[in-house]
């Protein structure tokens, strides 16, 4: 079964298959194959990253690619981009001061992303602009923008 994801460059298709291998999940995308799983302590076989780590990986990769494309277009001396991402659940009340749009009740998913731009010839202005561009990658916009997941069930 394929899932179509609307993307700026057109529809993207990903196929996911799971048998009886207890959480080992086979993913196919544009001729590439990935394996997701859960750690042994929750009943998986730890054959691949968890779905949540794949989500963080997607955000990190998209951010790096978007920044690299921009720096290359501008012919800026960006030598390396390093990202560290983490995800946790926090009380919304902890964030309501800096994000008044949040309902202060309940929990919210917090993704922290730390980015380093390396390049001896990068100026402060370039770094500021690259930081702005980093938050414009398509995956970032999907995660923070309105997203609708339309699930359709089919008989086997």
Q: What is the pLDDT of residue 6?
A: 39
pLDDT tens, residue by residue, 28-59:
999 999 999 999 999 999 999 999 999 999 99
Is the pLDDT at 108 greater than 80? The verdict is yes
**CATH number, domain with residue 68:** 3.30.300.20
- Report yes or no: 119 and 79 within 8 Å, Cβ to Cβ: yes
Counted domains in the chain: 2
29 and 99 assigned to the same domain: no
- Bigger pLDDT: 108 or 52? 52
Q: Is residue 152 part of a domain?
A: no
Range with lowest mean pLDDT among 16-25, 26-35, 73-82, 103-112 = 103-112
User: Of 77, 84, 138, 136, which Cα lies nearest the Cα of 115?
Assistant: 84
pLDDT of residue 7: 44
pLDDT on residue 8: 55
What is the residue range of 84's domain?
A: 50-147
Is 70 found in the same domain as 16? no
Domain membership flag for residue 106 = yes
Same domain, yes or no, for 39 and 72? no
Residue 11's pLDDT band (cuts 50, 70, 90):
confident
HEC-encoded secondary structure of the chain: CEEEECCCCCCEEEEEEECCCCCCEEEEECCEEEEECCCHHHCCCCCCCCHHHHHHHHHHHHHHHHHHHHHHHHCCCCCEEEEEEEEEEEEHHHCCCCCCCCCCCCEEEEEEEEEEEECCCCCHHHHHHHHHHHCCCHHHHHHHCCCCCCCCCCCC
The verdict on 44 and 61 lying in the same domain is no
Mean pLDDT for the stretch of residues 74-100: 89
Identify which has the larger pLDDT, 72 or 147.
72
Residues 135 and 65 in one domain: yes
Q: Is residue 153 part of a domain?
A: no
Residue 155 lies in a domain: no
Q: Please state, in angstroms and rounded to a whole number, the distance separating the CA atoms of residues 10 and 107.
A: 34
Measured CA to CA, the distance from residue 115 to residue 63 in angstroms comes to 9
How far is 142 from 63, CA to CA, in rounded Å?
12
Tell me whether residue 101 is in a domain: yes
Do residues 6 and 66 both lie within one domain? no
Statement to judge: residues 124 and 57 lie in one domain:
yes
Looking at the fold, whether 37 and 65 belong to one and the same domain comes out as no
pLDDT bucket at 97, cuts 50 / 70 / 90: confident
Round to whole Å and give the CA distance between 37 and 47.
6
Q: State whether 74 and 86 are in the same domain.
A: yes
User: Residue 4: pLDDT above 50?
Assistant: no
143 with 79, same domain?
yes
- For residue 116, the model assigns a pLDDT of 98
């Amino acid at each position: 079964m394929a899932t179509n994801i609307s993307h700026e460059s057109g529809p993207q298709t990903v196929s996911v298959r799971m048998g009886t291998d207890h959480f080992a999940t086979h993913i196919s995308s544009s001729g590439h194959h990935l394996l997701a799983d859960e750690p042994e302590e929750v009943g998986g076989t730890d054959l691949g990253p968890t779905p949540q780590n794949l989500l963080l990986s997607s955000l990190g990769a998209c951010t790096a690619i978007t920044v690299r494309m921009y720096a290359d277009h501008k012919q800026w001396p960006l030598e390396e981009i390093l990202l560290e991402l983490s995800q946790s659940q926090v009380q919304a009340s902890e964030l309501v001061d800096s994000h008044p749009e949040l309902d202060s009740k309940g929990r919210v998913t917090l993704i922290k992303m730390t980015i380093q731009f390396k390049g001896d010839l990068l100026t402060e202005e370039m770094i500021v602009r690259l930081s702005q561009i980093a938050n414009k990658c398509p995956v970032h916009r999907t995660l923070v923008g309105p997203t609708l997941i339309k699930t359709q069930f089919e008989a086997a």
